[in-house]
């Protein structure tokens, strides 16, 4: 006789390079009947989990379950994904902690199974081998950290304004609001990976009375809304700790077919602590990865004390018919708020250009690096407010477009420029740039002419928005190690030559660039002994007010 019967349908959303898709990842049926605790798969692909009455009582009394309790071998050879999925499904039902078995090595093959994590999980010192050499579905995450709360459509809101302080809505609790206007295209990319843009979208937090969190402002005018949803924000923190993960890299064709065999975080208020991820088996070709830790559609996520690995860079033919290097990431943040990386490092050399930069992000707000040593920070399709502090960044440095305040302090930057305003998205930053107590080592010490801010803007391409340079730039206590420079070196420049064709008033920008108004310089020193200068293009930047000490 059945003591209980619960049917769980496990479904997740997977972020791919082109957008979001929803695909089911099977379902789990949990029963408690006579007999032992065991799992098997029926002819419909359902994972059938039976928990004995004795074990049910024991697990609830302990407050946790191990993967071995549901049949995981942990021998590094047997595919344990079924047992892992079953363990989390039962733990989610009963509100139990999940613990990996000490000393276990869990092999995860290419079968399409995703474990839904909704309770605290301690991977401990266990190892996980993720074999991507032959997978059924490259978009199927290994783990999805999900909420038990569900999103819902908002009715009656037909428009929004930039920096609007309140929306006319009553909510059950603080929520994430995601809004889209598919009739307007933004981020119309320029260059080898050119495209026709993406639908205008935004994500921000509001309290139950509809008051917008000032730290997550609305950044666009929405004259029309084609979709708007609210997702309640989990108030308690879910913790994931430990784990030594190794990905055996895919051998697929080198093209933009991103692999998402990862840990996807779709729940707000999550702490990832002490995780390690390594990559083996990379060859002379392969498809790129969208991030082993992939954070999206959530807020208040912290990844700390974590070791990551950069992926080898592969090339393909881009949208313009020319060879391009493909971005491949171990960290990814998309449409998320208040995401922090604290004390994170990577296994490979941060100055080695054969490995792609570690982070890619889109549509996010309030990103933080603190005490990190990583090869890159990057915001593709915009970030509102970002901070890098107490950190060292390698060969790909800081790449960003967006708005608000970008602060870099107590850090060493080893990229080709101190900050690269991405030219494929209009080299735009609508706000302020603050550099404080930093060291800049141009190109990691290779011979080069130093420049702090890199970008390019012809004024002839419509990116779907007005493009800005930082309105105000403050640089305090910056040391530039430009000791390795060419013979004709004139000294470090604040700006590279953003438009070599703009040399006088005869040049007309069809889409005018809004230039910096003020630069404040305090205690800027150089290894070469040469003074910091404005730019090779003095005409373009002639109207900027420079306040020096």
Q: Tell me the β-bridge partners of 39.
A: 49
Q: Tell me the β-bridge partners of 232.
A: 175
Distance, in Å, from the CA atom of 308 to the CA atom of 314, rounded to the nearest integer, reads 19
Q: Tell me the β-bridge partners of 468.
A: 514
pTM, entire model = 0.94
State the pLDDT at residue 320. 86
- What is the rounded (10 degree) CA torsion for 442, 443, 448, 449? -40
Please list the rounded mean pLDDT of every run of 10 residues in the chain (549 residues).
38 30 57 87 89 94 97 98 97 97 97 97 98 97 97 96 96 97 98 95 97 97 97 97 98 96 98 98 96 98 98 93 93 98 98 96 98 97 97 98 98 98 97 98 97 98 98 98 95 98 97 98 97 96 93
> In Å, how far from its chain's centre is CA 535?
33
- N- to C-terminal Cα separation, the chain: 83
Distance, in Å, from the CA atom of 464 to the CA atom of 483, rounded to the nearest integer, reads 41
State the pLDDT at residue 25. 36
Distance, in Å, from the CA atom of 66 to the CA atom of 88, rounded to the nearest integer, reads 9
State the pLDDT at residue 541. 95
Distance, in Å, from the CA atom of 169 to the CA atom of 156, rounded to the nearest integer, reads 9
For 354-386, the three-class secondary structure string (H helix, E strand, C coil) is CECCCEEEEEEEEEEEECCEEEEEEEEEEEEEE
- In terms of Cβ atoms closer than 10 Å to its own Cβ (0-12, 13-18, 19+), residue 431 is middle
State the pLDDT at residue 23. 32
Distance, in Å, from the CA atom of 351 to the CA atom of 445, rounded to the nearest integer, reads 10
Q: Give 316's contacts (C-beta < 8 A, 6+ positions apart).
A: 254, 255, 256, 323, 324, 326
Query: What are the tokens at 363?
Result: 């549509």
Distance, in Å, from the CA atom of 46 to the CA atom of 50, rounded to the nearest integer, reads 13
Distance, in Å, from the CA atom of 534 to the CA atom of 542, rounded to the nearest integer, reads 9
Query: What are the tokens at 9?
Result: 């349908």
- Return the sign of the alpha-carbon dihedral for residues 127, 23, 290, 360: negative
């Amino acid at each position: 006789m059945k003591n209980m019967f619960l049917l769980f349908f496990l479904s997740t959303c997977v972020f791919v390079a082109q957008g979001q898709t929803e695909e089911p990842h099977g379902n789990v049926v949990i029963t408690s009947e006579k007999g032992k605790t065991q799992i098997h798969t029926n002819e419909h692909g359902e994972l059938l989990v039976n928990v004995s009455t004795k074990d049910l009582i024991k697990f609830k009394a302990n407050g946790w379950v191990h993967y071995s309790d549901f049949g995981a071998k942990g021998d590094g050879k047997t595919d344990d994904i079924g047992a892992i999925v079953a363990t989390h499904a039962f733990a989610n039902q009963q509100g139990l902690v999940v613990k990996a078995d000490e000393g276990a090595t869990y092999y995860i093959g290419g079968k399409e199974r995703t474990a839904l994590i909704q309770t605290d999980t301690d991977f401990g010192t266990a190892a996980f081998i993720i074999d991507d050499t032959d997978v059924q579905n490259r978009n199927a995450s290994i783990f999805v950290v999900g909420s038990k709360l569900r999103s819902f459509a908002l009715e009656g809101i037909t428009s929004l304004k930039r920096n609007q302080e309140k929306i006319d809505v009553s909510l059950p609790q603080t929520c994430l609001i995601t809004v889209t206007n598919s009739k307007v295209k933004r981020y119309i990319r320029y260059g080898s990976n050119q495209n026709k843009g993406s639908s205008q979208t935004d994500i921000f937090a509001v309290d139950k009375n509809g008051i917008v969190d000032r730290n997550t402002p609305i950044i666009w005018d929405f004259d029309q809304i084609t979709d708007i949803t609210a997702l309640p924000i989990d108030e308690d923190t879910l913790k994931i700790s430990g784990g030594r993960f190794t990905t055996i890299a895919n051998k697929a064709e080198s093209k933009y077919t991103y692999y998402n065999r990862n840990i996807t975080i779709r729940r707000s208020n999550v702490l990832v602590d002490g995780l390690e991820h390594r990559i083996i088996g990379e060859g002379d070709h392969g498809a790129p990865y969208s991030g082993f830790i992939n954070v999206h559609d959530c807020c208040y996520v912290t990844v700390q004390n974590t070791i990551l690995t950069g992926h080898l860079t592969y090339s393909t033919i881009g949208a313009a018919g020319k060879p391009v290097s493909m971005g491949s990431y171990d960290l990814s943040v998309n449409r998320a708020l208040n995401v922090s990386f604290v004390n994170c490092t990577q296994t490979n050399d941060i100055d080695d250009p054969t490995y792609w930069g570690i982070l890619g992000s889109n549509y996010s707000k309030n990103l933080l690096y603190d005490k990190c040593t990583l090869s890159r920070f990057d915001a593709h399709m915009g970030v509102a407010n970002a901070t890098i502090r107490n950190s060292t960044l390698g060969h790909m440095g800081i790449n960003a477009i967006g708005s608000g305040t970008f602060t870099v302090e107590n850090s060493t930057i080893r990229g080709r420029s101190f900050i690269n305003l991405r030219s494929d998205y209009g080299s735009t930053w609508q706000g302020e740039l603050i550099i404080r107590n930093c060291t800049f080592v141009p190109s990691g010490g290779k011979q080069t002419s130093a420049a702090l801010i890199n970008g390019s803007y012809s004024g002839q391409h419509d990116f779907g928005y007005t493009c800005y340079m930082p309105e105000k730039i403050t640089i305090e206590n910056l040391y530039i190690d430009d000791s390795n420079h060419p013979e004709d070196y004139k000294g470090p420049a604040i700006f590279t030559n953003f438009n070599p064709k703009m040399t006088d008033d005869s040049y007309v920008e069809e889409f005018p660039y809004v230039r910096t108004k003020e630069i404040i310089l305090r205690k800027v020193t150089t290894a070469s002994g040469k003074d910091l200068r404005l730019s090779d293009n003095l005409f373009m930047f002639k109207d900027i007010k420079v306040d020096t000490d």
